Amino acid sequence: MSDCVLLIKYTITYLLQNNESGYIKQIKEGINMKLAMGCDPAAYRFYKKLLERMKEEGYDIVDTGCESENEADGGKYAEIAEIVSNKVVSKECDYGILICGTGQGMAMAANKIPGIRAVLCYDVFPAVLSKNDNNGNVLCTGAWFMEKKGIDFTMAMIHAWLFSGYTGTHEDGMLALSRLDNKKYQEVM
């Protein structure tokens, strides 16, 4: 088992022993969350390995595609990001996970959907903070980078993100984001 996975497991064990409230209690009682996941053709092979691992660990996954690495991209990332984001906003799924080559396109596309707070992460620490401080509800990452770190590292990052909870310490910022969701902007082109 990788050092990163062990670190996450030790952290969760410590938190379980020292905190009986909030999201830690949810972990202790058993995770019952539904995740929407999707990728574009650039991330297909890595995504399939990750999807298999997530299912092995018992996650309830709604797989939104794509169909193969040979699909013509042509903006497929935007289509998949919209599908996953709508499943999160509608509460059909608790959270979303999106993967493309870099994660950038997925994050940009997902953040166009009102109510989505998509975060782009390549490591555990920013993944945790994106949930603690900004209440992220869609995790985006890049296959080209994460496949070098490996599935174990990627799973550790996903676990850290899923098991983190919003602390409420940045409520003013969250209200500002909600106001932006409701604003209508003229197209500038």
Active site residues: 100
Q: Which two tokens stand for residue 2?
A: 């990788």
Residue whose entry in the numeric block shows the structure tokens 């174990």: 152
DSSP string, 1-32: --HHHHHHHHHHHHHHHH--SHHHHHHHH---
Query: Largest Cα–Cα distance in the chain?
Result: 55
Q: Which two tokens stand for residue 159?
A: 């676990």
DSSP string, 74-117: TTHHHHHHHHHHHHHHTTSSSEEEEEESSSHHHHHHHTTSTT--
List the one residue out of 108, 146, 113 whose CA is nearest residue 127.
146
CA distance linking residue 96 with residue 60, whole number of Å = 12
